[in-house]
A and B are shown apart, each in its own frame.
Chain A
Amino acid sequence: MSTTDHTIRSWKATPLGRVAKFIGSVRLAVPALTLAAGAMVWGTWIESTQDRAAAADIVYGSWWFMLLMALICASLVLSVAVRYPWKPKHTGFIIVHASLISLITIGFYTMYSKIEARVILAEGETSSIAVLEDRWVQLLEPSIGGARTLDRFFLAGDKPIRFDLESLSDIRIEILEQWDNSAEVTKITDDGTNPFHAIEIAAGPGAREAESGDWLGQLIATDPAIPSNAAAFAVRVIATGETWTPPTERPYAVITDSSGTEYALGAAGEPIGQTGWTLTEIAQFQRATIGESGLIDRPDGPANPATLVVLTHADGSVEQQIGFEKFRGEPFVQQQSGETPSGLVLTYLGPSFTDPTLAIMRDDDGTVHAILADPDGSVETFAHDGAWPWHLTVMGTPVSVLRSYPNARASKVLAEADAQDSNSPVLTISTDSGPEQLVWNTPTPVTVGGHELVLQYGSVQVQLPFALELVDFRKLDYPGVDMAMAFESDVMVTNLASPRSVNAALLASEGPTLADPFEFKIFMNHPYEQDGWKVYQASFIGDSITVFQVTYDPGLVPMYIACTTLCIGILLIFYSRKLSFGHPGIPAPFGESGTTKE
């Protein structure tokens, strides 16, 4: 016994031993735990001011927090180790500290082994596939009838992608950018094969794309400082080679009959050809708006030419028609009295030209100029001084022509978008041929480090050892309010052949043999369990779609065991005199006076 004591003592006296003793001492544990507590305070603060993901990213999942946990774990291990040889009174101490070591270890193990996925089923649907909640990059091998996953990489932050496959162990794929959602936008480049004129302009509000024409360009920005009704004119780009002259003719209203004969609108009281109808009322509007009292001209309204006519037949029938320039041939017809429909149509003829138009064109010699044509017939010409961007003021609105593309080519590209309607995250990685975009759930061939790979950024599907069919989903509300009291799903479970291992299950997609299905009811606090998998009622969508949370957590049972021993250990330290040293100055247990000495 004394020799053992001696060896231990001498081991502790070495420099390494002193370091071990320090790491295992309360002097290190207290600051380390204080630091951990501080970090956790910070984490909860981040969660309340930002969100859960930010807290996980900045604190709980960060390398330094892991390191701190590892240090605490090491401190716990050494605190037990340096007390060797242990006495019976160390029992409580050892149980507590060993349990804590286990808890931290299991925590780390759970981080890498736990699978959390979702199954969303509508009534009548069956699935044995769950979708992992995280984002992954998968390495695919194209095969007949689909692709096979060779390896996958869990995406956290912007750490570079590495695959575990031996043949690819040397490559490191840098992540350049991550977008939570994307949308397609048109981009103009000047590398078209044919001459095609396009411009890029930044215009204030009031300018808009012409309704017809060879518009090609990008409206970059509008200046919100200018009120939107300050000006209203269309911008039109004239294609290379096309000639354009401002229209001189104004659109005009006429009445046509079923045979296509046109009758010009005269003054009130004039008959309309030989139709038997007489024009009894006529009114013209430039900025027509349908108000409560009928059609009115609103001075501040948008340009909207319209004509109102009232037609009267000899037999006493009266018909009112309202024709809009914008909706040619489709007047609003109202039979005001009598039975006879006129069969006449109030419509507009002539060029469609209601707004002033700014036409930007490129001459054969390469110079650019613009023409502002007003419907009243006036024309203003803007000559380009040769400098880009070209600033002009059109009807009080500043317009900047940023660039002119003589050989424009339009292409669709992805741009970052707000996370709203579609779920299409994009990951940009560096490849041998420059940055490459991986679109959500779309296999993309890339070349990295000389290897030709097929990568897919997206969710990962997991094969479950059972199939679930949703028979019925029920949501019970509290009486009289729209608040769920309970929700539950009736499922038919089909036990598929037990998979070889979880990893095999993750990667396999072969169809296993089937067993007889059986009924099961999944509800809050009542999950379905099989082969380490648990299916929980998590949520629902509408009235008939259920959302299950599926987990596989091999660390759970060890976690329970460690928690139990931890509690036993704490009780021993606090309340057992035989199996703990008690605390200085504190009598143990209740009711004793005096002190317990170590």
Chain B
Amino acid sequence: MPSALMQSVVQRDVALRSTSGFLSSALTTVAVLVAVMAAIVFAPAARAQDSTGDAAVDSSQWQKALGLIPIQDGGRLMPLDTFARRLAVDLTGRATWREGKGPEGFSGRPAIELFADLIARPQEVFRSPLIAINHEELKREIGFDPDRKFFSPQEIMRAEPLHQLVGAMRERMAEDSNAKPSAIERKAAKVQNAAMAVAMFQRDRQFPLIPRTDSEIYATVGTATAEPGYEDVQAALWDFRTAYLTGDDVLGAVRNLESTIADHASTSESLARNVRLEYFYNHHRPWIWAAVANGVALLCLIGFAVTRLKLFAVLAGVAIAAALGEQFLGLWLRIDILDRAPVSNTYEAVLWMGIVSTLFGLVGQAFNRKGLYLAAGLVASMLCIIFSQLVPLTDQTNSIPAVLRSNYWLIIHVMTIVASYGAFLLAAVLGHTFLIRDVVLRRPADPNARLIVQTYRLIQLGLVLLTVGTILGGVWAAESWGRFWGWDPKETWALISIVLYFLVLHARYSGWIRDFGLAVLSVIGFISIVWTFYGVNYVMAAGLHSYGFGSGGEKWVGLWALGEVLFLALCFTRRKASSAQRAEAERSEEHEVAQSETAPPDESAPSTA
């Protein structure tokens, strides 16, 4: 931990003394909410880890050995562990389920065991309820019980209405290249694919497991069949199957499989290292540790604010260092494993946004020790990680299209843009804090803390980054395919956000809005940012930035937006109710605030643009 930061944390003492009223209310509320959410998200994973228990010590060995075997999938080499996790996500919706939750037979077990099951007893898996269907309308449409969550591949393969639905969609898309599948059709196709994936195991699915000396493409092998010349690997895979079914020396069977594969050719050392790193990444879960450390840091800051024990400040510093360390570890692992910039899809961008939030919080705190930048940064960072883990953002480790590969400007462009989102998120967190403290809880504003100034500063920072980033995107587009600006939805929405935030600054400059208006607009502005970032790719799904397209989380994001609107409505009502107080407060503020001569009287309600 840099000593400057430590000093800043300690220096905050002065500020905290004066703002402890606020800290013990608003920040506590936020922190408790975040902690509760974190508990909801991470507890199942943690418990799933525990539930393997003593008896499973042995099995964890062969699971690790099997999980470390490299497989070629999705255009790259990955550990079988990742392959199994992706399979589990595709089928059940999650990589692991805690005991008592999720599909029967898979709950409380690691993904690699699902893979082993699929190899060893595909018929059984085919008949057991495994595939998650959450879409109620789809379930009704195809005559499934809407109250059930998991369905067996067999049921799905027999569901004629489902196949009709998907068939009709395919036909339509074949005829009209502009046709887009509806949400229900997309889900139906996904469910059908999942069932067919299981069905493939029944017909002895082959896997690209064996490296070759003469080609980059791995040779494939199944339990009963293999590419000619690789029958020994097939026999080893069959032996593994037998051992798994009988439970007899599974580890030995996996080791045998490993060595049989190695007899043919060896994976290059750099690729093998990546596979090991990826296995480590899967099991270390740096993002979750980062979120936990962030939470600890927040609690320590609160503890420090309440008790003013220096120990809490030191602990907070350590926790922040740990959180950042984990985040950078995760970032570095992703760069190293996937060999690309760590901002190539929505999932990575959200994680990058979290790192940027913490960093901005630290930098802001270093500049302005009376500020709440650091606390806001931690909250923002934690929200980012929670969002990324909670919302099923599709394909977390995919290959990227040719156009996005190895371009310096593109990386700078995306990183700048997402960094601006981080700044705006920070501004929104501070805006919320202001609204909770000054409007909802009606704690009198502390003139020294000037929370709203920090919000304003962050909006400025975000605007600089967003403007520069959008321009860089134009530069990259002009250099890549010769058009600087093309009214693509993503760039148009970036421009809308820029215009919106500049309007906020102009409105503040002309005195049309004051502290309250600025706080409200920092929240509304962030909704626009979320739409730019998430909505354009996940809801509108149009335009050139299609690498980020996906689905998932619409419900969560929609709920959040609705919550924000309700929160703002609450703020407006609270503010009206205390209009007398407000008039008083603003009269005193009038002295402070220099006004241009065109400023209208303060009675005007803040414009929500």
Contact = CB atoms under 8 A, between A and B. Distances in A.
A553 B477 CA distance: 13
B482 A107 contact: no
Contact of A566 (B72, B467, B485): B467
B487 A43 contact: yes
A484 to B, nearest CB: 5
A598 B479 CA distance: 42
A29 B512 CA distance: 13
Nearest to B487: A60
Contacts of A585: 453, 508, 514, 589, 592-594
A446 B272 CA distance: 72
18 contacts: A26-B507, A27-B510, A33-B503, A44-B542, A47-B487, A47-B489, A480-B217, A483-B75, A486-B402, A549-B481, A567-B467, A571-B464, A585-B453, A586-B456, A586-B457, A587-B453, A590-B368, A598-B594
Interface in A33-51: 33-34, 36-37, 40-41, 43-45, 47-48, 51
Contacts of A587: 450, 453
Contacts of B509: 26, 583-584
Nearest to A486: B402
A524 B598 contact: no
A559 B481 contact: no
Contact of A591 (B367, B410, B495): B367
A36 B498 CA distance: 12
Contacts of B489: 44, 47-48
A40 B508 CA distance: 23
A563 interface: yes
Given A479-B75, A480-B72, A107 B401 contact: no
Given A478-B75, A480-B216, 11 more contacts: A30-B507, A33-B499, A37-B496, A48-B540, A52-B487, A479-B72, A480-B75, A536-B482, A553-B484, A590-B368, A593-B448
Contact of B609 (A34, A486, A556): A34
A595 B590 CA distance: 12
Interface of B: 72-77, 178, 208, 216-218, 364, 367-368, 399, 401-403, 405-407, 410, 448, 450, 453, 456-457, 460, 463-464, 467-468, 471, 474-475, 478-485, 487, 489, 492-493, 495-496, 499-500, 502-503, 505-512, 514, 536, 540-543, 589, 592-596, 598, 607, 609
Contacts of B482: 116, 527, 534, 536, 549-551, 553
Given A478-B75, A563-B474, A591-B367, A556 B484 contact: yes
A47 B502 contact: no
A453 interface: no
Given A33-B503, A44-B536, A484-B401, A570 B492 contact: no
A585 B456 CA distance: 10
A44 B536 CA distance: 9
A479 B596 CA distance: 64
Contacts of A193: none
A8 to B, nearest CB: 16
A478, A484, A485, A570: which has the most chain B beta carbons within 10 Å? A478
Contact of B471 (A107, A524, A567): A567
B592 A595 contact: yes
A478 B480 contact: no
B401 A34 contact: no
Nearest to A61: B487
Given A480-B72, A598-B596, A527 B479 contact: yes
A260 to B, nearest CB: 52
Question: A-B pairs with the 6 shortest C-beta distances?
Answer: A478-B75, A551-B482, A48-B540, A590-B367, A48-B542, A44-B489
Given A44-B493, A483-B399, A25 B598 contact: yes
A524 B405 contact: yes
A119 interface: no
A99 to B, nearest CB: 11
Given A478-B399, A480-B208, A486-B405, A33 B502 contact: yes
A487 interface: yes
A524 B402 contact: yes
Contact of B464 (A27, A110, A574): A574
A32 to B, nearest CB: 10
Contact of B496 (A40, A481, A485, A584): A40
B428 to A, nearest CB: 18
Contacts of A481: 74-75, 399
Nearest to B468: A567
A478 B218 CA distance: 12
A560 interface: yes
Interface string A96-140: 000000000001001000001000000000000000000000000
Contacts of B493: 40, 44
A310 interface: no
A56 B487 contact: yes
B481, B482, B485: which has the most chain A beta carbons within 10 Å? B482
Contacts of A34: 503, 609
Contact of A37 (B403, B460, B500): B500
Contacts of B475: 560, 563
Contact of A583 (B456, B481, B589, B609): B456
A570 B463 contact: yes
A538 interface: yes
A198 interface: no
A559 B475 CA distance: 10
Contacts of B77: 479
A30, A56, A550, A566: which has the most chain B beta carbons within 10 Å? A30
Contact of B596 (A40, A538, A584): A584
Contacts of A107: 485
Contacts of B464: 567, 570-571, 574
Nearest to B541: A48
Interface in A455-494: 477-481, 483-487
B367 A41 contact: no
B480 A525 contact: yes
A485 B402 contact: yes
B596 A27 contact: no
B401 to A, nearest CB: 7
B87 to A, nearest CB: 16
A43 B598 CA distance: 33
Contact of A29 (B453, B460, B506, B607): B506
A26 B217 contact: no
Contacts of B607: 30
Interface in A241-294: none
A570 B514 CA distance: 22
Contacts of A486: 402, 405
A60 B491 CA distance: 13
A553 B67 CA distance: 53
A597 interface: yes
A30 B456 contact: no
A40 to B, nearest CB: 5
Interface in A483-535: 483-487, 524-525, 527, 534
Nearest to B493: A44
Contacts of A478: 74-76, 399
Contacts of B543: 47-48, 52
A45 B77 CA distance: 39
Contacts of A484: 401-402
Contacts of A550: 482
Contacts of B508: 583-586
A154 B191 CA distance: 48
A159 to B, nearest CB: 20
Contacts of B542: 44, 47-48
Contacts of B367: 590-591
Interface string A146-171: 00000000000000000000000000
B510 A26 contact: yes
Given A25-B598, A48-B541, A40 B492 contact: yes
Contacts of A51: 178
A55 interface: yes
B474 to A, nearest CB: 7
